Amino acid sequence: MSDSNAILDAFFSLGKKVNKVLGRSTDEETEQGIVSDKFPELTLDMKNEDLGDLTDRWLKNWRESSVFSEWDKHGDDNEAYWLGNQHIKPKVEKTRPTIDNVLFEALETYLPEATRRNPDAMVNLANKDADGKTQPDTPETQAFVKDLQKKLAEINDDIKLRLRLKRAARHWAIYLVGAAKPGWDMDKDIPTAKIIRPKKLILDPEATVDEDGYTGEYYGEYRKMKAGKMIQTLKKIGGETEGIKLVKDMAGEDLGTEIQFIEWWTVEYMCWTMKKVVLLKKKNPHWNYETTEDAPADGTTGEVPVDENGKPQQVPKPAQPNHFKSPRIPLILLTVFNLGKQPVDDTSLIGQNISTQDRINKRSRQIDRNADSMNNGMVVSLERSGLTAPQAKNVTKALRDGGTVAIPAGAVNEAMSRMSAPPLPHDVYQDLTDQRNRLTELFGSRGLTPSGLGSNKTVRGMMFEHNLATDRIGGGVSEYLEQFADDIVNWFIQMLYVYDNFYAADQTPRPIVKAGVKEGSMLPKDSASLATQALELAKANKYSLIDLFKALDKPNPEELAANVWLEVNAPEILFAKDPRVAQVVQMKQQAAAGGAKPPNESINFKDLPPDGKVQMAKKAGIDLNAEGVAAHEEHAATRGGSNPAVPDVGAPEEGAPAIQ
């Protein structure tokens, strides 16, 4: 790989602008003419001062937009409520308020169901090639497709893609957007997808996220890097001299100091800036561009053509194949509740339920205060008890501690009395239950909890409510997560074509493939129902063992199916490590080698020659004469008998076996 590729952990990539939608009011969306601030296009030949000014305007455009201010506020509120920081009392109070955080319970029940299935990478041969011709379906192309699909499955497992998707989904639920940045892991030497904290993103406020992805012209990311590594990286890949000097001046001798900068991406270019100073600017490193090479020598003279400077003339060199049809920005965004006006969600499940959570907390406090007042209130009559006010306080404390109190005068019942608050109406408790149910119903997770299923007294009713919950969650976010994973898988292929030594090499032919995640593979399904169906199909001989074990989500279905076959056909191989089995196998082998007997033969007595009949009769305890047997057979043959009998030698002794 080239030197620039050797530090790919500094780079990551996104998609092409498609159908840009302005994040403005309805009236402004229908205006004609210029409807956005004027921005020049980022190019490599742009002066560093102009590039710094441009990226600084991008940053201000995001920070000063109404999209950012509303999004930032909603994200902070959602995070506080998810964490349980729903305190109403001043923080200086030592008493921690009791919080019934149903929001956390609902979200953390919702997310495991939405992300419980692994994304199954699928690769198929495209119908048309790059020239629009039908691709030949040959053993070579099929082998390439199969190898690529296996490679993607290994990558998904190595980078723990399922856990990354769950983290992106949690970011989406709290911060109204989830973000993944595809790139190359230099340690593992495989593609990867970094899940970015949304707070570190700088987006185009006039963009949105549609079925084709992020539509913005640019995006930025706040990044940190130690000064020493940053200086080394900039020197190795051609960083700007002014930028290297700035990092050195800031860190001084303390090269372990972390420096924060902004990494900017467009479709064609990327750059690093810090305080309007350009540290680095490069073409999109995640794309195989066309290059040049020396012109071939003349076939007659053997001379290499030269240009006007006397240098070898350059001719275009075909680029290595790309998976995408055009360069893309390395950013994949997850949004669901998006009206097409901005690059983040317009609302969230947590935001829609904050008022319900507040009401739950209010009802809980009312019940808590009422319970306290029912136990702690006490009134003492100074006149009837003969006590002073300070003495009355001591009486109250003594009674709470279980002590004994002596009253100088008056009846006890007349001297003091507990003042208990009346119990709250049943409607208060019912409202608390209703609000808890309402919150989980809005999340669609009520049928996934024991309390939610408690109202159903039958197994069928519980399964029906559980299926309704999984169907709603599957249509609510799982299908968006599936497309999110689909984009990540396609980025992995592009990364392999650019950076992997095998896939980046010349492939003849290099087939065009269609890749993604198996449709419906991430939708939540009822595991119990699927297992029952699989067992029924297996009983009807409609399922192979491997398919059965896969349907049951066994971690190693191929090995389990092979063990079943070996147990029937070659148990000595399956249990080879057991010394008892080895001993039995050895005994059987020795018996077969030493006491082998020829196969049993069956022959009729009448078909034997006279001597043979005598020998067989002797084994049965009967003495015969060979000459007599021969004479008898000759006489029977002369007489024309077809079934000569044994000569009459008298009846056998009692108990002697008969001859047949």
For 502-514, write each residue's pLDDT tens digit: 887 766 667 889 9
Phi, psi dihedral angles at 473 (to 5 degrees) = -65, -40
**Quick count: other Cβ atoms within 10 Å of Cβ 266?**
19
Residue 19: left (phi > 0), alpha (psi -120 to 50), or beta?
left
Specify whether the CB–CB gap between 342 and 20 falls below 8 A: no
Cβ neighbours of residue 647 closer than 8 Å, sequence gap 6 or more: 624, 628, 629, 632
Q: What is the pLDDT of residue 12?
A: 42
357: closest CA among 284, 440, 428?
A: 440
Burial label for 113, CB within 10 Å (0-12, 13-18, 19+), is buried
Q: What is the pLDDT of residue 25?
A: 46
Q: Angle at the Cα of 248 (from 243 to 249), degrees rounded to 5?
A: 95
Half-sphere exposure of 140 (CA within 13 A, CB side): 8
Query: At how many degrees (to 10) do helices 459-473 and 102-114 cross?
Result: 80
End-to-end CA distance of the chain: 89
* pLDDT tens figures, 400-416: 666 676 777 767 676 76
- Hey, what are 7's tokens? 């530090």
- Spell out, as residue ranges, where the chain has pLDDT lower than 50: 1-9, 12-26, 33-36, 38-39, 92-93, 453, 464, 641-660
| 3 state SS of 181 | strand
- Local structure of residue 128 (DSSP, 8 states): B
- Hey, what are 631's tokens? 């004479």
Q: What is the pLDDT of residue 36?
A: 47
| 3 state SS of 178 | strand
**Mean per-residue pLDDT over the chain, rounded:** 78
* pLDDT tens figures, 268-307: 999 999 989 999 999 999 998 887 777 777 767 777 787 7
**CA atoms of 495 and 191, how far apart (whole Å):** 6
Residue 498: left (phi > 0), alpha (psi -120 to 50), or beta?
alpha
What is the pTM assigned to this prediction?
0.69
- Hey, what are 583's tokens? 């001993």
User: Cis omega before residue 509 (within 30°)?
Assistant: yes
Distance of CA 319 to the CA centre of its chain: 34
Burial label for 642, CB within 10 Å (0-12, 13-18, 19+), is exposed
**CA atoms of 630 and 449, how far apart (whole Å):** 96
Half-sphere exposure of 223 (CA within 13 A, CB side): 21
Question: Which residues of 567-643 form beta strands (DSSP E)?
Answer: none
- Hey, what are 516's tokens? 């993604």
Distance of CA 238 to the CA centre of its chain: 37
